[in-house]
């Protein structure tokens, strides 16, 4: 649904994008992660047409330019809402931009209000809402009209657990229904919840992309073993082969009281990629 190739964007001598390649398929959630300044937001700005790249190209559903913008639903990092009017009015506006009119528009607005648990505050002005409520409204403006490509830039920043779970549930449901979702976040556990494919951006390019299983394969997990021995009650051992390491421990004559294996996490992956230790699976 989204294919970006060789994007370059410079601001003076600084490269915000430096050969950025990324594809997102229909029904797929790609979690785009990376340090502050890695180029994630600039990528969204290029895809939306807000920023013109110096090189490279973006195809959406095989097309480009103004004609394909209608296929996009965007929740930007900075709030882009009309504070003086109600949540419903904001959604009405975005639904109109998505080409919905009359009863279809009203039905769609009701659906999105329910999906993001906004119905109780639908008639309040956006300007009086809390940060977490606004986050949900921003996501709702992206989702209204069911666009086939969603670009969500830190949609849960500052959100409380309830808001976060409402947003994640809505994002998962959209992907289930066939939308391609680009999901930018600094909260890696969200990508586990969403079972997202992961793309790591560094210095303006994607340096690793794959499923969580693919990317964490070969990274050490941790074997945690406890003993009755008060001199050494617990042992934590980084391991890529917990079975063999446990067998070696048992062969040494020590008797564990409990054994736990922690699989490598996305945090481990992030740290390993940043340290250049993990296998880079280029996009
Ligand atoms: N309009 C601009 N003018 C000058 N420099 C810019 C502009 N927009 C972005 N940059 C620079 O481009 C680089 C990439 O910024 P970008 O906002 O895309 O990073 P990011 O990965 O989204 O970061 P964060 O995680 O903090 O949101 C940064 O060095 C930033 O300072």
Q: How far apart are CA 171 and CA 166, in angstroms?
A: 9
pTM recorded for the entire structure:
0.87
Q: Is 37 in the pocket of ligand 1 (CB under 6 A)?
A: yes
Question: How many Cβ atoms from other residues are within 10 Å of residue 205's Cβ?
Answer: 22
Joined together, the tokens standing for residue 59 give: 């195809």
Q: Is 197 in the pocket of ligand 1 (CB under 6 A)?
A: no
Rounded to the nearest 5 percent, the helix, strand and coil shares of the chain are 35, 30, 35
DSSP character string of 166-207? HHHHHHHHHHHTT-EEEEE-S-HHHHHHHT-EEEEEETTEEE
Domains of the chain: 2-210 (3.40.50.300), 220-263 (no CATH)
Candidates 151, 142, 212, 139; CA nearest to 180 is 151
Compute, in angstroms, the gap from residue 82 CA to the centroid of ligand 1.
25
Strands 14-24 and 234-239: unpaired
As a three-state string, the secondary structure of 61-76 is CCECCHHHHHHEEEEC
Compute, in angstroms, the gap from residue 92 CA to the centroid of ligand 1.
31
Q: How far apart are CA 162 and CA 50, in angstroms?
A: 32
Ligand 1 binding pocket mutation candidate from 17, 41, 203, 270 (most atoms within 8 A of CB) = 41
Q: How far apart are CA 32 and CA 4, in angstroms?
A: 14
Candidates 268, 261, 263, 253; CA nearest to 225 is 261
Q: Is 40 in the pocket of ligand 1 (CB under 6 A)?
A: yes
Q: Is 204 in the pocket of ligand 1 (CB under 6 A)?
A: no
Which residue's CA is minimally distant from atom 28 of ligand 1?
A: 37
Q: Please report the ipTM that was assigned to this predicted complex.
A: 0.96
**Alpha-carbon Rg for the chain in angstroms:** 22
Q: Is 78 in the pocket of ligand 1 (CB under 6 A)?
A: no
Joined together, the tokens standing for residue 103 give: 């009863």
DSSP 281: -
The one-digit pLDDT tens for each residue of the chain (283 residues) are 999 999 999 999 999 999 999 999 999 999 999 999 999 999 999 999 999 999 999 999 999 888 888 899 999 988 899 999 999 999 999 999 888 999 999 999 999 999 999 999 999 999 999 988 999 999 999 999 999 999 999 999 888 888 899 999 999 999 999 999 999 999 999 999 999 999 999 999 999 999 988 888 888 889 999 988 888 889 998 888 888 998 988 898 888 899 999 888 888 888 887 776 555 544 3
**Please, are residues 227 and 233 in contact by the beta-carbon 8 Å criterion?**
yes
The atom of ligand 1 lying closest to the CA of 204 is 14
Residue keyed to tokens 């009359």: 102
DSSP 125: B
Ligand 1 binding pocket mutation candidate from 38, 48, 54 (most atoms within 8 A of CB) = 38
The helix/strand/coil state of 254 is coil
Provide CB contacts within 8 A for 5, sequence distance 6+: 21, 56, 57
**Please, are residues 236 and 224 in contact by the beta-carbon 8 Å criterion?**
yes
């Amino acid at each position: 649904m989204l294919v970006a190739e060789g994007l370059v964007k410079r601001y003076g001598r600084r490269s915000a994008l430096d050969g950025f390649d990324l594809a997102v398929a229909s029904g797929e959630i790609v979690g785009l992660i990376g340090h502050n300044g890695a180029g994630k937001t600039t990528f969204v700005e290029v895809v939306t047409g807000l920023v013109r790249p110096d090189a490279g190209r973006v195809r959406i559903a095989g097309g480009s330019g103004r004609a394909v913008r209608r296929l996009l639903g965007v929740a930007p990092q900075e709030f882009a809402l009309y504070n003086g009017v109600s949540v419903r009015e904001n959604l009405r506006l975005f639904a109109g931009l998505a080409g919905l009119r009359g009863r279809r528009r009203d039905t769609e607005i009701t659906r999105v209000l329910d999906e993001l648990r906004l119905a109780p505050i639908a008639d309040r002005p956006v300007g009086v809402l809390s940060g977490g409520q606004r986050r949900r409204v921003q996501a709702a403006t992206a989702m209204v009209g069911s666009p086939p490509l969603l670009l969500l830039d830190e949609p849960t920043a500052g959100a409380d657990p309830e808001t976060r779970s409402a947003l994640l549930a809505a994002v998962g449901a959209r992907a289930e229904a066939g939308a391609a979702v680009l999901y930018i976040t600094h909260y890696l556990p969200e990508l586990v919840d969403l079972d997202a494919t992961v793309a790591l951006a560094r210095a303006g390019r994607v340096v690793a992309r794959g499923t969580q299983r693919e990317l964490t394969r070969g990274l050490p997990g941790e074997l945690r073993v406890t003993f009755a021995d008060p001199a050494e009650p617990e042992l934590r051992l980084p391991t890529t082969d917990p079975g063999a390491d446990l067998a070696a421990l048992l062969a040494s004559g020590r008797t564990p009281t409990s054994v736990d294996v922690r699989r490598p996490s996305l945090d481990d992956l992030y740290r390993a990629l940043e340290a250049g230790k993990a296998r880079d699976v280029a996009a």
